Each structure stands twice: as structure tokens, then as C-alpha cells.
Amino acid sequence: MKTATRHFDTKFLGRSISIIPEIYNAGTVRLVLLALAFILAVMIFAGCGSSETGSDQTYEQNLVQLNEYTGQQLENWDLKSKKRFEEVLTGEPAAFTGAKIWTGTGDIISNAALIVQDGRILDLFSLDIRSLPDGIQTYDLSGMYMIPGLINAHGHVGMADGLQTGSQIHSEDNVRKQLALYARYGITTVVSLGDEPPHAFQVREQHDPRQPGMARLYMSGPVLSPDSPEQAYRDVETLKEKRPDWVKIRVDDQLGRRTAMPPDIFGAVIDASHQHDLPVASHMVALDISKELLRKGTNLLAHSIRDEPVDDELVALMMDRDICITPTLTREVSVYIYAERPDFFDDPFFLEYADHAVLEMLQQPDIQKRYTGEAADFYRKALPLAMENMLKLHNSGIRVAMGTDSGPPARFQGYFEHMEMEMMHDAGMSPADVLTSATRNAAECMDIGDNLGTLEPGKWADFILLEDDPLQDIRNLRSLQKIYIAGAKMDR
């Protein structure tokens, strides 16, 4: 395994040896030898010859140099990068070296050095162009591929535990467990769009962005379903006290089983949310409802359109305000796939973190029967159209943000994100486009792009390391080796 080392200046040892001729004479040989032995013992005890720290004097000198280096890098940043830092840099920088980096901006850097300080990216360059500053701690990543941490723009946390739902399973521990599970699959940020328990807000409030120890969490809170425009304004007013990152609504007749929220009410939710600078994510199925949501000002279409082919009018409405879509293709899969034993129940990448008790339950006949019927048939047939519509929007210049709707029962967090990206590729997106969707697009579409989504100075150092190149095959994301959030290594 790769180990951390620290470069240090060996001139201090040379200066110690150079004084020998000045003090050498026949009467003091024994004293000098004893003194040198004592000095060497102190140096060894203090780690002066160690590759980890260096001497106190050299370390202090190198620290000054590193501080100067940090200052120089900050001076080189543009104003937008500087604004990303809300705190004063206090820690020491570290360098992750030797990997081939896809930054998420379109750049690829070979033999790269990513400099991290206090969880933020300080600098990024190729070692073929310039050298590391003296005294910096290094982590050798030679032979690996580095990409930004993956972002799920539409997930859910804390609302289920296995196949169970309800208040009896709501807890902070459950939220943390699920955020850790996302992270183990390289999903370093999750935007949870709806019906999180209050415990999720508590976890978010306790979160230290420099030491998260799990996937970062953004959230909307309860899905709003007011019965009048007046109630819509009151509901948003109540919700804003929780400081949500988004507001979520559902506009869907559930295949004729209920009446969809009418335009005057969802329009009021959108207007009230915008009055408080809160963006709105809209659950929808139908093309005509999607257009009306866009006219009323929704900020995100939270699913692919599944009833009709998308048309030029929809594209124009989305382009007009640069509205994104999260396709959630795996959401459709989850509605019908468990009617029989799915093939991925034999996938080692899935089984590594799967709860085998849940898998056994999903193979019981009475449970399998739940995944048959009208809804299962509709979404199975709708899935190819959803994939075609996603690709048409992508090809028309609409930004697609990778999102899965994972988190409810049997929508497996972490694994479903990889399944989603593979389905996006199967639909016709290139590996680079899929990666962009799961990094830069997801961050920018969800209003967190100032800090996340690409590897650039000033942003959080959230990245994953792969054995194989994902630009060659999106399934190479399965070669995941290491996960870093704010520059700190996570357990895989």
C-alpha cells in the first residue's frame, strides 16, 4: 500500500557534520565522539532522520515555506475561488501525487499533484511541469485514476430501514448509517429530496464540513401537499424555519388513483418558496404537467418524463431558465424488478454491503407479488421512453444531473447510483457525459457548485480513486479503491 512521506531539507545534518574540523584536536577526540554520539541519539529520538517529520529546526523552516506557498496560491486564486473559503486556513497542506486526474471541468492532468489544506483544494498541477514545495506531506497515488466525488442529486435518507418505514425506524443513527453507505460507494454528497425525518435535520446541523466522516447531506424536508394556495404560503413559511436546502412537491395523479395538485396550488408553493430564496424540485410523470410546472417557475424536474416523448416546447421552456432534470431511471426499475429474483442479487459489488435478511425477504412470494400489477406494468413499459427522453434532452443541451430516488425500501443506496450511471450510458450518453452528470452538473443543478462537483482550488477536496479509467468504460467506477471527503480517507 502507498504510504505517507514528508520531504525535508537535509542541509541541517550537513551543517552539523561541517563543524567537526573546527573542534577536532588530539585532546578532545573522545569528547567529540561522545558529543556526536549524543547528538545522533537526540536526532534519532526526535525523528530528525525520519522521512515523516525532519528536525525541529528544518520542520519550522519548512513550515514557514509552506505558509508562504499557501499565501502565494491564495493570491493566485480568482475572486470566486477566494469566496469559497469561509474559514481561515490553520492546518498544514498535504499533497496527493502521481494519479491521473479528471477534474470534472474537462481537464485531464497526468502525474498530478493535488494539494489539500484544511479539507479544501489549495492547488492542482502536473509534476511534469513543476515540483512540490519543500516540507509537504505526500501520499503516493501512482497508477490510480482520480475523479471528483460522485453526487446523487435526488436521493433520500432516513425514511426507511431495510423494508421498514415509519417513525419506529427514524433515528440519527439510521441517517448516519445511510450516509456512510453512500460514501462507501463513492457517493460523497447526497441531496435528499423529501420526507426525511426530523433526525436528518439534526444530523445536518451537527455536520462539520471539514470532517464529515460520511457523505455530505443537503435536504428538502417534508414533501409539501397543501390543499389551497393560502395553505401553500403557510406551509412554506413553516418549512423555512427548518432551513431546508430545497422545497419538494409532487404533481402526479398516480395513474388515476388520485387528483394531481392543481396549477394554482403548486404555483403558490413555488412563488412562496422563491420569496424565501428556496428552489423547488418537482416530482412529475407527465409531459403536460412538466410544462406547466416550468411555466410556474419550478427549479428542477425531479424525474424523467414517462408518458410521452419530449418535444421542442419542453426543451425551450427548460433552456429558457437553464432547468435541469434528474432521470431516476432506477426508480422505475425498483417498481417491478423484485417480482422475480433480480440478477444483481449475485453481483459481488452489490453483495459487499447488502443486508442479506432484506434480500431473503424480497424473494418471498408474498413480497414479490407486491411488485406486480398496474404500476409495475406501467413503469416497466415506461422505462425505455424515460431513457429516450433523457437522452433527447441531453442532446438538446439540457443538463442532466445524476439522481436515483434511492433510499425508500429496496432502492439500494450507493449501488443504485452505479446502476443509474450504467443505464445512462446504455441510453446513449458517453462515459465523460455520465461522469459530468454525476459531478459538475449535479453540483451546479442543485446549487452547491461553488464548493463541490469539480476538483478546483477553493472547493472541498472530495474525490475518489479508481484502479481503472472510467472514461474508457463507466463500469470502471466499480474499481473503486479509496474515498476521500475533505481530504480525509473514508473506510471502504
Euclidean distance between CA atoms 135 and 149, whole angstroms:
28
For residues 368 and 425, state if they share a domain: yes
The answer to whether position 262 is within a domain reads no
For residues 155 and 129, state if they share a domain: no
Euclidean distance between CA atoms 87 and 480, whole angstroms:
31
The DSSP line for 173-197 is HHHHHHHHHHHHTTEEEEEE-S---
Euclidean distance between CA atoms 37 and 40, whole angstroms:
5
Instruction: Write down the H helix ranges in 185-339.
Output: 198-206, 229-239, 263-275, 287-296, 312-321, 329-336
For residues 100 and 181, state if they share a domain: no
| Cα→Cα distances 12→8, 50, 68, Å | 10, 13, 21
The answer to whether position 63 is within a domain reads yes
For residues 169 and 115, state if they share a domain: no
For residues 67 and 154, state if they share a domain: no
The answer to whether position 266 is within a domain reads no
Tally the domains of the chain.
Answer: 2
Residue 86 exposed, middle or buried by CB count within 10 Å (0-12, 13-18, 19+): exposed
The answer to whether position 280 is within a domain reads no
The answer to whether position 235 is within a domain reads no
Q: Is the dihedral of CA 142, 143, 148, 149 positive or negative?
A: negative
**Amino acid letter for position 162:** G
Of the residues 83, 117, 143, the one at which a domain ends: 143
For residues 164 and 116, state if they share a domain: no
The answer to whether position 480 is within a domain reads no
For residues 133 and 42, state if they share a domain: yes
Output the nine-digit C-alpha cell for 123.
492547488
Q: How many Å is the Cα radius of gyration of the chain?
A: 27
For residues 132 and 168, state if they share a domain: no
Of the residues 143, 176, 206, the one at which a domain ends: 143
For residues 35 and 107, state if they share a domain: yes
Output the nine-digit C-alpha cell for 96.
496527493
Euclidean distance between CA atoms 63 and 406, whole angstroms:
45
The answer to whether position 424 is within a domain reads yes
For residues 16 and 137, state if they share a domain: yes
User: Residue 45: which domain range?
Assistant: 4-143
Of the residues 143, 175, 193, the one at which a domain ends: 143
Euclidean distance between CA atoms 417 and 151, whole angstroms:
9
| Cα→Cα distances 491→218, 410, 418, 438, 470, Å | 22, 24, 18, 21, 21
Backbone angles phi, psi at 158, to 5 degrees: 80, -5
Residues 391-396: contacts with CB within 8 Å, 24+ apart? 391/427, 391/428, 391/429, 392/309, 392/310, 393/310, 393/314, 393/315, 393/318, 393/325, 394/429, 394/433, 396/315, 396/319
The answer to whether position 270 is within a domain reads no
Euclidean distance between CA atoms 218 and 225, whole angstroms:
21
For residues 38 and 156, state if they share a domain: no
**pLDDT, tens digit only, all 492 positions of the chain:** 333 333 333 322 232 333 333 333 434 334 434 444 444 443 433 433 333 333 343 444 555 556 666 566 566 655 555 444 444 455 789 999 999 999 999 999 999 999 999 999 999 999 999 999 889 999 999 999 999 999 999 999 999 999 999 999 999 999 999 999 999 999 999 999 999 999 999 999 998 888 888 999 999 999 999 999 999 999 999 999 999 999 999 999 999 999 999 999 999 999 999 999 999 999 999 999 999 999 999 999 999 999 999 999 999 999 999 999 999 999 999 999 999 999 999 999 999 999 999 999 999 999 999 999 999 999 999 999 999 999 999 999 999 999 999 999 999 999 999 999 999 999 999 999 999 999 999 999 999 999 999 999 999 999 999 999 999 999 999 999 999 999 999 977
Residue range 449-477, pLDDT digits in tens: 999 999 999 999 999 999 999 999 999 99
CATH (domain of 400): 3.20.20
For residues 136 and 163, state if they share a domain: no
Euclidean distance between CA atoms 229 and 86, whole angstroms:
38
